[in-house]
Amino acid sequence: MESPFQRRRVSLLRPPLSSTQNEQAHNLSITLLPEEQEMLRNTSAGALGLLSRLQNRTAHNANEISRLSGTDGGTFAVAVDDVNDDADYGRGKADVLFAHFYEIHHTHTNANDTLDVVQQLVQACQQIVDQLQIEIERGVGGNQGAKQREASVSWLKQEINTWRLLYGLYHDRLLLQADAHAEDELMMQDGPMLGASEKEVIQQLFSINAQLREYQLVIDWLEKCHEQSEQSNALQSHDRMMAWENTLFQLENLQGAAFGRGHEICRQLDPDAPVRERQPLHALDMEDNGRLSRAIFAAIRSGHIDEALKLCKHYGQTWRAAILEGWRLHEDPNCARHVGGQANEKLPIEGNPRRDIWKRCAWLLANSTKYDEYTRATAGVFCGHLDALKSLLHNSWQDLLWAYLKVQIDIRVESEIRGCCLKRYQPMPDEYWNGKMTLEQIFDELNVAKDLAVRDYAQSQLGVIQQHLILDTAGELLKHMCRWLDAVPKESQLPPHQLRFMAHIVLFMRRIGRLEPQPQQQQADRIIAAYVDALIQRGDPQPIAYYSAGLPKKLQVQLYAKFLTHIHEKRPRELALEAAIQAGLDVEQITLHTVESICVDGTPVSAMGEPHTGEISAGDKRKIQSLEYLIHLVEQRGELLWQANAMMRQYLASNKIECVRRVFSMVPDDVTAQLIKIYGAPDNFPPREECSLREYLCFRIYLAGIDSFNDWTQLQQTRPQPPEPGAQKSTISHHTQDNFTERMNAQHKEKAYLSDLSRWKQKLKEQSKITTEALFNVLLFPEKGWLNDPFIAKEPENASLLHWEHRLVQMEKLRSICLPEIVLLLHEVMMKSNDFAGCVRLADEIADEGRQLYKVYTKHKLADVLSKIADSSLQLLNIKLDPWGYPITA
């Protein structure tokens, strides 16, 4: 039988009214008369008001949605229209949902708006469905485009239905059950309402029994889904209909029967005649009867009992309409204690006072094989005959679930009535009472159903989600979702829209507090992380930052760093960092993790192309440009120095001097001033920052020395060339007499050459001095020398994480490589500048115990440099000086 809560679908499956109106709708739904129910169903002001409110609420986000979807529209609907997705068969329109779902969640941070969020998600999906259906009707994209769009529409409709199921169930679980908790306890203390009418008993039952209400909510949802599905109408009608008119005509005109005299039909036209006489109706009436039975059951399956009654009356079968009224609960308002001041007026009785007899007859009808399956199933709906329903609804998961739940409500309602009403009832068969089942048992039956389609849907992802939403087992649902993630190959992932759907269900469960701390929160994090991975492929920073912010710190750092590694332009990087800051992410850890990830990227050089000599490879450029992430925040100047120094050590060891220059140029010139601003004074620098700043200055001095040597080398190679004497001789031999003009030209060229040579020598002398000083600055770096840390009281607390010992080894190795080269460059400059005494003094600097440069030499390198110094001493002896460059005294 139908629950008194049947008409509550008006408020549960349409956009909700305000909380006060919704509570009133709940309270009145079990007492409204049929005409009042019809009036309420036809009232759309509440729905229109909500739609207007939702549109106003999302209007200020329209420009951002348009930007995210690549459109110029002013509203979401216009943005969807403007997406040119002919080439991708409508996928572009569906992809707008990623941005719109983000906007809905981003603008509803209040926990009290959770159910409103679900309603807006439904609205967003419905807008896309409407747009796709318009394109299908217009034939956009041809046959292939229509098929792809139809697949998208099918999925989105299923998603919409699931969101509506979630809304209906959790609206009751979160609001109605919580509000009625105190009242329920009071009613339970008072006990059941003994001696009341059937309607009053069931009203109380539905008000205190949350499980029974949820059964009815699921039935309402299943009926709404069936109503929205495409149902073919096989009925044919005209203005005036009469029941069994062909049979009547044949009985009145036996001589002119359409099928001859030998065709036997029933002789009487009362409703029971065909069964009693065991004779059929006229063939055309049998066909019409079958169509009518199917239409009546279809209307009942969609929850439109009043529509089924209208069909019966329209087709002249009023006895069917009377039968369909027999299930209604009985109540005599004249027996009530208070009748509103109308004591002398007799009020009409509601329902069927002999409902138990009617129900027993309905059971017999449903159990009989003399009626067609639709008639039996129609009777079975109202008397709880499960077998009659299963014989007809055996190939659909939704239909079977609807049949099971209708029977369960009927059994529980009947049990409550017989236990509370002071009246003797006709007994129901044991088979009826044995049909009582729990929800878990019902779903177990569906999982092992005989029909393959039912089993497939029960085990499908959508079926599993709907099952666990009904059972309110969020933990099991998360386990299934994680299994779906595990079943996907490592290099691929679930469809992005499926991940979107799953992630937002998880977010809803987390928001309402349905997830336990362990391990459900970890499973939820994994599902949301998978969705963030899908968003990374789309490249929009704001949704990525928003959904990452709901994850544990370690996971959000890994995911957002993964996103940043895919960005190669400066402006998009800045936007991504701004989005992370707005979302409250740990930007410092994220940028650090990003730089480290890019630096350890093992992409082979061949994959990016071999660079020309003196150029920087694409892989090195990517690593160097990653330092831009550490420039965004002034607070990360210390980290910027640390990472830049690590890169310069690596490139210097690989003899990639151009890479070292590029890394050095990435560090702002005011880095020292910024560090002082952060820490107050140099004496307040932490050990890492103090050592990093000194190392950075060492690289600055080194690059200055190398650049100065390169300038000197370039100047060396630009020595002016003397004029060619051969041209003058050939000219003289050609002419018999001396040409004055040519002689003057030759003299001018000679003077110009001598002038250029003089200036060149002066420039070379000055450059030699500058280069010598720049190279000596490397050798004579203050304190403990070049690439030696200053004295620090103790190592940093996180020395192991910083790989401090490894860094010291690297610097010592670089000292042994670079300092001997600097000495050779110095020797070359001074040797060619005829500063032989300066070359000899290099030995003193190497042997000095203060800097102990001799320790960076191997025996072979030390022998080589001493040999060159010995050559300088020979040059001093050749110019009459002693081996150290001093004048020889007697």
Query: For the chain, where do the domains classified as CATH 1.10.3450.20 start and end?
Result: 265-333+351-454
Which are the contacts of 520, defined by CB distance < 8 A and separation ≥ 6?
A: 474, 475, 478
What the block records as the tokens of 879 is 């110019």
Confidence of residue 458 (pLDDT cuts 50, 70, 90): very high
- The CA distance from 35 to 1, in Å, is 20
Q: What is the pLDDT of residues 680-733, one digit of tens each?
A: 898 888 888 999 999 999 999 999 999 999 999 999 898 888 887 654 444 444
Average confidence score pLDDT of the chain: 81
What the block records as the tokens of 843 is 């030995």
Tell whether the model's pLDDT for residue 18 goes beyond 60.
no
What confidence score (pLDDT) does residue 29 get? 33
Q: Are 98 and 535 in contact (CB under 8 A)?
A: yes
Query: Which of 21-25, 324-328, 691-695, 826-830 has the lowest average pLDDT?
Result: 21-25
Q: How far from chain centre, in Å, is Cα 93?
A: 17
- The CA distance from 265 to 272, in Å, is 13
Q: State the DSSP string of 871-890.
A: HHHHHHHHTTB-TTSPBP--
Type and span of the H or E element at 120: helix 114-138
Query: Which of 139-153, 754-768, 794-808 has the lowest average pLDDT?
Result: 794-808
Higher pLDDT, residue 53 or 245: 245
- Mean predicted confidence (pLDDT) in 575-599: 94
What confidence score (pLDDT) does residue 804 get? 84
Higher pLDDT, residue 727 or 820: 820
What confidence score (pLDDT) does residue 776 get? 92
Query: Which of 256-270, 483-497, 670-684, 704-718 has the lowest average pLDDT?
Result: 256-270
- The CA distance from 63 to 61, in Å, is 6
Residue 11: CB atoms within 10 A of its CB come to 22
What the block records as the tokens of 41 is 């169903």
Q: State the DSSP string of 695-750.
A: HHHHHHHHHHHHHHHHHHHHHHTTPPPPPPHHHHHHHHHHSSS--HHHHHHHHHHH
Peptide bond before residue 519 is cis, with ω within 30 degrees of 0: yes
Is the domain spanning 768-890 CATH 3.40.50.300? The answer is no
- The CA distance from 162 to 456, in Å, is 17
Q: What is the pLDDT of residues 60-73, one digit of tens each?
A: 333 333 333 333 33
What the block records as the tokens of 275 is 């069964």
Tell whether the model's pLDDT for residue 563 goes beyond 60.
yes
CA distances from 386 to 336, 403, 551, 661 (A): 36, 7, 47, 82
- Mean predicted confidence (pLDDT) in 518-534: 93
- The CA distance from 575 to 560, in Å, is 13
What confidence score (pLDDT) does residue 336 get? 63
What confidence score (pLDDT) does residue 695 get? 93
Residue with structure tokens 């996928």?
91
- Mean predicted confidence (pLDDT) in 175-184: 63
- Most confidently modeled of 284-288, 813-817, 843-847? 813-817
Confidence of residue 611 (pLDDT cuts 50, 70, 90): low
Q: Where are the alpha helices (DSSP H) in 172-282?
A: 177-179, 181-190, 198-208, 210-228, 245-252, 273-277
Three-state DSSP state, 242: coil
Beta bridge partners of 89: none
What confidence score (pLDDT) does residue 834 get? 85
CA distances from 854 to 54, 184, 706, 865 (A): 79, 91, 21, 11
What confidence score (pLDDT) does residue 803 get? 82
Higher pLDDT, residue 36 or 561: 561
What confidence score (pLDDT) does residue 877 get? 81
Tell whether the model's pLDDT for residue 2 goes beyond 50.
no
How much of the chain, in percent, has pLDDT values that exceed 70? 81
What confidence score (pLDDT) does residue 873 get? 85
Tell whether the model's pLDDT for residue 736 goes beyond 50.
no
Tell whether the model's pLDDT for residue 456 goes beyond 90.
yes
The letter for the amino acid at 661 is: R
Tell whether the model's pLDDT for residue 793 goes beyond 90.
no
Residue 702 burial by Cβ neighbours in a 10 Å radius (0-12, 13-18, 19+)? buried
What confidence score (pLDDT) does residue 738 get? 57
Query: For the chain, where do the domains classified as CATH 1.20.190.50 start and end?
Result: 768-890
Q: State the DSSP string of 55-87.
A: HHHHHTTHHHHHHHHT---SSHHHHHHH---TT
- Mean predicted confidence (pLDDT) in 655-662: 93
- The CA distance from 798 to 510, in Å, is 36
Query: Which of 352-366, 431-445, 781-795 has the lowest average pLDDT?
Result: 781-795
- Mean predicted confidence (pLDDT) in 786-792: 85
Tell whether the model's pLDDT for residue 85 goes beyond 50.
no
What confidence score (pLDDT) does residue 15 get? 34
What the block records as the tokens of 266 is 């029933």
Beta bridge partners of 331: 350
- For 77, half-sphere exposure in the C-beta direction (CA atoms, 13 angstrom radius) is 7
Residue 226: CB atoms within 10 A of its CB come to 17
What confidence score (pLDDT) does residue 7 get? 37
- Mean predicted confidence (pLDDT) in 495-517: 93
- Most confidently modeled of 6-15, 183-192, 767-776? 767-776
- Mean predicted confidence (pLDDT) in 559-571: 94
- The CA distance from 45 to 50, in Å, is 9
Query: Which of 168-182, 248-262, 528-542 has the lowest average pLDDT?
Result: 248-262
What confidence score (pLDDT) does residue 123 get? 95
- Mean predicted confidence (pLDDT) in 841-854: 86
Tell whether the model's pLDDT for residue 34 goes beyond 60.
no
HEC-encoded secondary structure of 467-533: HHHHHCCHHHHHHHHHHHHHHCCCCCCCCHHHHHHHHHHHHHHHHCCCCCCCCHHHHHHHHHHHHHH
Confidence of residue 53 (pLDDT cuts 50, 70, 90): very low
What confidence score (pLDDT) does residue 480 get? 96
Confidence of residue 845 (pLDDT cuts 50, 70, 90): confident
Tell whether the model's pLDDT for residue 621 goes beyond 90.
yes
- The CA distance from 74 to 65, in Å, is 9
Higher pLDDT, residue 552 or 34: 552
What confidence score (pLDDT) does residue 265 get? 84
CA dihedral 640, 646, 650, 652 (to 10 degrees): 70
Q: Are 50 and 116 in contact (CB under 8 A)?
A: no
Query: Which of 262-266, 497-501, 836-840 has the lowest average pLDDT?
Result: 262-266
- The CA distance from 204 to 189, in Å, is 13
Tell whether the model's pLDDT for residue 174 goes beyond 50.
yes
- The CA distance from 771 to 779, in Å, is 13
Q: What is the pLDDT of residues 331-374, one digit of tens each?
A: 877 776 444 555 567 888 888 888 889 999 999 999 998 899 99
- For 873, half-sphere exposure in the C-beta direction (CA atoms, 13 angstrom radius) is 13
Query: Which of 16-30, 629-643, 732-746, 876-890 has the lowest average pLDDT?
Result: 16-30
What confidence score (pLDDT) does residue 221 get? 95
Q: Which CATH class is domain 265-333+351-454?
A: mainly alpha
